[in-house]
Structure 1
Amino acid sequence: MPPTGGFESLKYKRNLPYKGPGAYVLLGGVTAICAYGFYRLGKGNLERRELQREKVWSRIHLVPLFLAEGDRDMYRRQQAAIAREKEIMKDVPGWEAGKSVYNSSKYRSPEIVIL
């Protein structure tokens, strides 16, 4: 038989502790973090674009210097080659050192590097 006054009532209600912020707070936090990330990405893209532009312009301004340096080096090598040719062919009568082997007065730069 049941006890007098009846049995105790069953505790079926969930009694869980508070587990953190709500869904709207989390959504707002994620949105803020993503917005800050996109802001930094945009700033990084601007800086990268500026550095690329600076690199291109520095190359444009350095090309004449590199061409002049190459011309000076080619002239120095050509004069050294003519001096070697004069030394080697000094016993051959009628030999003109440095004279072009082509039957044209048009200037042709050497296609190979003479060491």
Structure 2
Amino acid sequence: MCAVTTPYRQDMPPAGGFEAVKYKRNLPVRGPGGLAILGGVTALCAYGFYRLGKGNVEKRELQREKTWSRIHLVPLLLAEGDRDAYRRQQAAQAREKEIMKDVKDWEAGKSVYNNPRYQPSEYIVVL
């Protein structure tokens, strides 16, 4: 047997100890936090509703202006319609006189109905 005694050296930690074991994930911060995103979305929605309200006010004002302009134009349009109806009636009566000139006792423009009320010969519906 060999009885050689060699001094052995035990493996020991370095002075000051080993460095900490890195077990956590090292992820970088990516973008703003949830509270910042929520605040941004809230601000954006508030601004959108503000602009929607302003647009509704403007649309309502334009509708009011359009309605009043139509109200003020009604007498003019009625007068134009009356002039046009009178012109057409006179032209129709002239045509009737020309066509029925050979018929005895024919009165051009006289109603064929025994009703004294004025009734226009045609109705024009304008939308």
Shorter-chain TM-score above 0.5: yes
Partner residue, 1:72: 83
Q: Which letter maps to 2:98?
A: E
Q: Please state if 1:85 is matched with 2:96.
A: yes
Aligned partner of 1:16 in structure 2 is 27
Give runs of aligned pairs for residues 1-115 of structure 1, distance below 5 A.
Answer: 4-5=11-12, 10-111=21-122
User: How many residues are treated as equivalent by the alignment?
Assistant: 111
- Tell me the TM-score normalised to structure 2 length: 0.75
- Bigger helix fraction: 1
CA RMSD of aligned residues (A): 2.2
In structure 2, the residue corresponding to 1:111 is in which secondary structure? coil
Cα distance, 1:23 vs structure 2: 2.2
Aligned-pair identity in percent equals: 74
RCO higher in 1 or 2 (8 Å CA, sep ≥ 6)? Answer: 1
Q: Alpha carbons of 1:82 and 1:50: their partners in 2 closer, same or farther (altered >3 Å)?
A: same
Letter in 1 for 2:65: E
Structure 1: gaps spanning 5 or more residues: none
